[in-house]
Structure 1
Amino acid sequence: MTTRNTANQDETLKRHFNWHDYARLGHYLRPYTVRLVLVLGSILIGNVAVVLGPFLMKLAIDQAIPQRNLPQLGALGAVFFISLLIAWACFRYRIWAITAIGQNLLIDMRTDLFTNLQRLPFAYFDTRPHGKILIRVVNYINTLSDLLANGLVNLISDVISVGVTLAFMFAINWRLTLDSLGLIPLLIIWAYVVQKKQRTAFRELSNKQSNLNAYLHESIAGIKVTQGFAQEAAATANFDAIADDNRQAYMRAVKIQYALSPGVQNISTLTTALIYFIGIQQLGVVVSTGTLIAFIGYVNNFWNPVINIGNFYNSLITATTYLERIFETMDEQPTVRDADDAFDLPPVKGDVRFRNVCFQYEADGPLILDHVSFHARPGQTIALVGPTGAGKSTIINLLARFYNVTSGQLTIDNVDSQRVTLASLRSQVGVMQQDTFIFSGTIMDNIRYGRLDASDADVLRAAKVARADDFIQTLPAGYQTVVQEHGGSLSAGQRQLIAFARVLLADPRILILDEATAAIDTQTEALLQAGLAELLKGRTSFIVAHRLSTIRQADQILVIDHGQIVEAGRHAELMAQRGVYYELYDSQYRLLQATE
């Protein structure tokens, strides 16, 4: 059964993150292999330049200064200065290259995530708040950017730095080197204890962040309802409660996260003290003054990258909670997709047949459609009527294959709709729903969305047929008028006329109107119907309408009730039967008379 989620409900993770999943990140780094090799080369050169410093200091203290060898001291100083310049140049290149790689990784991951979202069926978006989807595409990916680019390459840099430093340390004094590594096991144990608690804490935090984002998105979308009922105080109280949950989860997570760093710092300090203690005892016998000073410098060079590696490990554990959600979305398989042997649907005439079609949203849920059968011939107009929730919209959603039929068969020109590619099917089926969506941009662009290669003349022609041209011409910039998301500056009727023009521009062979004229006034609807009369000739049309007066001329009227066709026929035939349709029509007629 599909799990439905709300803004104040923590999401259940379908699959926990596997450490092997980190290998998937290599897929995103692979296109930048050459750049990474150059970065690693600069890191290696830069690290060698940095670790030369203590070694040059040892030579100066043990040889050049005691022997008053000024040429040697000058040469050592010159080499040291050059090494600093090389280290600076390598560091500057690394920062630039890493930033570029990181931004490209962001685009690649976000594009893959968005692409998969485009493939998912309506059911995926119906069962979770949209804010919880948005946070994965935006916030979670941003959180990973530093880890995938700067953090990852810095990790390699630190590992190289540790390796180079250890090589110099062993070359100078292998006994002191082993002594400096004595507390490493303590560090490993401490990191293991912290990471288990940290991962749990950040998984809880990601849930609370998701809840907060979902409630914020929902509140903005419903702001008119909130203000219309004067419920701002209640909305604020709900927001405060969810925000406080997020705050508490964040404080718990951070408290655990920052437990690792002090532990590493303390172990580093203890190691330095240990080296001082051992080195001073052996000073002048086994260890020279220059060797001890150089070794203390190398111990710092060793522990600084170790601390950085610990911080990266910290970030890795934190990022794991976000990667779980990102990969979960990437791995979400669309239930409505092309079959392996799917083929393109040829240009259709519009012969549509439902043969004992059953549909249910969930495997153990109730039947929404129960053995529905009907035949729509090419060019016919089929009207679907019935009470709310009867299954009318489900029929047209199956026709456009927004969902798959549970059983039975739906054919178009005798071709099973589930055997053809979705793109070839939907390119020949135009759908206009009551809840029209207007994108931010110009009115011209919004209409052209129906067919992106359409000319301006084509757009104007569609707008005139849909009777949208009249009001568009009255706008200050006409078709170049910029509207915001959802078309807030337009009336509901104007938005529907634009959506109507968009569908008509697509020139579909099968046209679906789901309460498409609900927000249009009676006068505009009469004009629209007149303009559509010629366009609908030769097309198979499906009309869902609660205003029964608008479908009197339909070739076939299907009365849907409880997921079944209870009556079918033309208007006059159904009225003569004095059944369900007659009662619906008569009640609407009497209601209209009462309101006049």
Structure 2
Amino acid sequence: MNKNLKKMMTYYRPYRKIFWADMLFAILDAAVALSIPLIIRYITSKVVFMEPDQALHKIIMLGIAMVLMVAVGCYSKFFICNYGHVMGAKIEYDMRAEIFGHFQKLSFSFYDEEKVGQLMSRITSDLFDISELMHHGPENIVISMLKILGAFVILLNISPRLTVAAFLMIPFMIVYAYFVNRHMRKAFRQNRIKIAEINAQIEDNLSGIRVVKSFANEDIEQKKFRVGNEGFLNAKRNSYHYMGAFQAGLGSFTTLIQVCVIVAGTYFITQGSVDVNDLITFILYISVFTDPIRTLIDFTEQFQNGYSGFERFMEIMSIEPDIEDSEDAIEAPVLKGDICFKDVSFAYNDSTPEVLSHVSLNVPAGSYMALVGSSGAGKTTLCSLIPRFYEVTSGEITIDGIDIRKMTLKSLRNQIGIVQQDVYLFAGSVYENILYGKPDATEEEVYQAAKNANAHEFIMSLPEGYQTDIGQRGIKLSGGQKQRLSIARVFLKNPPILIFDEATSALDNESERVVQESLEHLAKNRTTFVIAHRLSTIRNAEKILVLTEDGIAEQGTHEGLLANGGIYEKLYHMHD
């Protein structure tokens, strides 16, 4: 816990000035709250016994002083609420930028295990609670502790006996708070987990809403959601149980403090050891003393929310990227695309079998290489190793004789273009999605890339041409249109190495023909890997690799492999 708190404190560094200003105004606010009851005591014990003219003058002066003090207190509260919240928002901004940047560094293996909705929960609701804690936490502690300590010193000077009576309940209150607080912290952490789970479920449902509706499975989704929602409710119910016990218990203790003071004060008045003015002042200060205790009660809830969120934040930040630049990594030169696999093996983790085992392969620059085989044979995995989406378990991959692990990730991936079966287009316009391939490209370059991908004609037929909004994931476009935009994006990038991952398998015959033509145009003079489902699309490949669970079973040209009558020949007649 101490380690996390120390880390949390570092986020204040860029905002030290506003933080200390916030603390200054918190101190002023506490000082005003402590001073006004003293002035009231002075008026009731001294001023009321003065001569009328002298008393009037004193009352006017003290009234002006109290008005000024109220004004100072008012501005202090304004500063704390306004600028303090801005500071909290800036800290939230910094932390969100940090965790988002960290998400960008994590490899595919991380996202294979995580749910988007849960990650969204960490970057939104968790960070909001953290920022609320980091804004209100220090000022609440400062104001509350100053009021408690200040009231204690003043009360001790007024009447040590009444002070003892007032603080009689404090040890019991602390012990009670300690034990209930331990349970409350666990409950709030469980809340975070359940909120993340239900966010993941909602995100999954909304992303697949068309599948849900196509199967008319709204009732099933409702039942699934109800289970998650009930889990969230139970977690909330458990945390509110402890929070209710906490607040009710401490609220009762603060009331008991007032009861003790009134009972003890009345007794001491009858004994002549305390006068009525002291008891009145004491009761006024009891409220100054108990209010910050209530604030600390609320702060405890806020702390549980914020700190459990920060623990989850640190869980993500502590995950080291399993693929990153080595210390001696170089900027990749302009690559020709001569790729060599040297005894490469790969498994997704230690507990799963190897997907690729001792694969050796030479692909000369500019070659057109096709990969075929049954599902699970490792075709996509083999291609994913080239841009280092996953790291080889053993062996090495070189491009132009350079181990890809010796190149920076950015310079390596900038020279590899990927066209996948499942095209991902971002919400926005056609133009913005093509521009993603080369953000600093000119309009003419974007238009030319679209023409090369056979996309310009259909783009111009859209309502607003290149500025047409295509909806979430390009939902307003057909499969063939989306695929051509993804090809245009790669044309604009203009990389020397291409990977086509079953890019036409989900298209109708007409769309496939147009897209295949675009792909062949794109592949000219580039090292190209094609993962093929329809074997008729790779007849012109210079070499075809047939992958099985045991590795590369066959390799050769289309005609040669058919003549051999092996696995490829069976696959060809099965699919085509």
Q: Shorter-normalised TM-score: what interval? A: over 0.9
Paired position in structure 2 for 1:319: 306
Paired position in structure 1 for 2:75: 89
Following TM superposition, by how much is the alpha carbon of 1:170 offset from its aligned partner in structure 2, in angstroms?
3.3
Following TM superposition, by how much is the alpha carbon of 1:112 offset from its aligned partner in structure 2, in angstroms?
1.2
2:328 partner SS: coil
Question: Which residues of 2 match residues 80-479 of structure 1 at below 5 A?
Answer: 80-283=66-269, 285-479=272-466
Please tell me the residue identity of whatever aligns with 2:39.
L
Paired position in structure 2 for 1:23: 6
My pick for the range that moved more, 286-295 or 379-388, is: 286-295
> Equivalent of 1:42, from 22, 25, 39?
25
Please tell me the residue identity of whatever aligns with 2:95.
M
My pick for the range that moved more, 527-536 or 84-93, is: 527-536
1:356 partner SS: strand
1:383 partner SS: strand
My pick for the range that moved more, 437-446 or 73-82, is: 73-82
| 8 Å CA contact retained: 1:65, 1:73 | no
Q: State the distance in 1 between where 2:521 and 2:483 align.
A: 20
2:265 partner SS: helix
Matched, 1:502 2:489: yes
Please tell me the residue identity of whatever aligns with 2:65.
V
Q: State the distance in 1 between where 2:214 and 2:277 align.
A: 79
Q: State the distance in 1 between where 2:516 and 2:219 align.
A: 45
Following TM superposition, by how much is the alpha carbon of 1:563 offset from its aligned partner in structure 2, in angstroms?
5.0
Q: Are the structure 2 counterparts of residues 266 and 333 from structure 1 closer, same or farther at C-alpha, using a change threshold of 3 Å?
A: same
Following TM superposition, by how much is the alpha carbon of 1:524 offset from its aligned partner in structure 2, in angstroms?
4.2
Q: State the distance in 2 between where 1:147 and 1:197 align.
A: 20
Matched, 1:62 2:48: no
Q: State the distance in 2 between where 1:124 and 1:464 align.
A: 37
| 8 Å CA contact retained: 1:158, 1:309 | yes
Please tell me the residue identity of whatever aligns with 1:46.
D
Q: Are the structure 2 counterparts of residues 95 and 77 from structure 1 closer, same or farther at C-alpha, using a change threshold of 3 Å?
A: same
Q: Tell me the alpha carbon deviations over residues 3-26 of structure 1, each in whole angstroms, 9 at most, x when there is no partner.
A: xxxxxxxxxxxxxxx243122111
Q: State the distance in 1 between where 2:524 and 2:205 align.
A: 44
Q: Tell me the alpha carbon deviations over residues 529-581 of structure 1, each in whole angstroms, 9 at most, x when there is no partner.
A: 44554543331111111111111111111111115111111222222222111
Q: State the distance in 1 between where 2:290 and 2:458 align.
A: 72
Please tell me the residue identity of whatever aligns with 2:395.
G
Following TM superposition, by how much is the alpha carbon of 1:374 offset from its aligned partner in structure 2, in angstroms?
0.7
Q: State the distance in 1 between where 2:413 and 2:139 align.
A: 45
Please tell me the residue identity of whatever aligns with 1:413.
D
Paired position in structure 1 for 2:62: 76
Matched, 1:536 2:523: yes
Following TM superposition, by how much is the alpha carbon of 1:149 offset from its aligned partner in structure 2, in angstroms?
1.1
| 8 Å CA contact retained: 1:198, 1:318 | no
Please tell me the residue identity of whatever aligns with 2:562.
M
Q: State the distance in 2 between where 1:106 and 1:458 align.
A: 39
Q: State the distance in 1 between where 2:521 and 2:355 align.
A: 34
| 8 Å CA contact retained: 2:423, 2:482 | yes
Following TM superposition, by how much is the alpha carbon of 1:300 offset from its aligned partner in structure 2, in angstroms?
1.2
Q: Are the structure 2 counterparts of residues 464 and 163 from structure 1 closer, same or farther at C-alpha, using a change threshold of 3 Å?
A: same
Identity of aligned residues (%): 33
Note the residue ranges of structure 2 that are not aligned, 5 or more in a row.
none
Q: State the distance in 2 between where 1:73 and 1:138 align.
A: 53
1:189 partner SS: helix
| 8 Å CA contact retained: 1:199, 1:320 | no
Matched, 1:512 2:495: no
1:282 partner SS: helix
Note the residue ranges of structure 1 that are not aligned, 5 or more in a row.
1-17, 590-596
| 8 Å CA contact retained: 1:260, 1:314 | no
| 8 Å CA contact retained: 1:465, 1:532 | no
Following TM superposition, by how much is the alpha carbon of 1:172 offset from its aligned partner in structure 2, in angstroms?
3.0
2:384 partner SS: helix
Please tell me the residue identity of whatever aligns with 1:126.
D
Following TM superposition, by how much is the alpha carbon of 1:140 offset from its aligned partner in structure 2, in angstroms?
1.6
Q: Are the structure 2 counterparts of residues 67 and 282 from structure 1 closer, same or farther at C-alpha, using a change threshold of 3 Å?
A: farther
Please tell me the residue identity of whatever aligns with 1:554.
A
Following TM superposition, by how much is the alpha carbon of 1:142 offset from its aligned partner in structure 2, in angstroms?
2.0
Q: State the distance in 1 between where 2:520 and 2:195 align.
A: 52
Q: State the distance in 2 between where 1:349 and 1:420 align.
A: 15
| 8 Å CA contact retained: 2:4, 2:311 | no
Q: Tell me the alpha carbon deviations over residues 418-455 of structure 1, each in whole angstroms, 9 at most, x when there is no partner.
A: 22211111011111111111101110000100110011
Q: Are the structure 2 counterparts of residues 257 and 371 from structure 1 closer, same or farther at C-alpha, using a change threshold of 3 Å?
A: same
Q: State the distance in 1 between where 2:454 and 2:243 align.
A: 62
Q: Cα RMSD between the aligned structures? A: 1.7
Q: State the distance in 2 between where 1:494 and 1:465 align.
A: 14
| 8 Å CA contact retained: 2:130, 2:307 | no
| 8 Å CA contact retained: 1:556, 1:570 | yes
Q: Tell me the alpha carbon deviations over residues 107-136 of structure 1, each in whole angstroms, 9 at most, x when there is no partner.
A: 111111111111111111111322111111
Please tell me the residue identity of whatever aligns with 1:571.
H
1:482 partner SS: coil
Following TM superposition, by how much is the alpha carbon of 1:187 offset from its aligned partner in structure 2, in angstroms?
1.2
Q: Tell me the alpha carbon deviations over residues 226-285 of structure 1, each in whole angstroms, 9 at most, x when there is no partner.
A: 221221112112211221221122112111112111222211111112222222333384
Q: State the distance in 2 between where 1:346 and 1:583 align.
A: 42
Following TM superposition, by how much is the alpha carbon of 1:479 offset from its aligned partner in structure 2, in angstroms?
0.3
> Equivalent of 1:51, from 8, 17, 34?
34
1:550 partner SS: helix
Q: State the distance in 1 between where 2:415 and 2:537 align.
A: 24
1:200 partner SS: helix
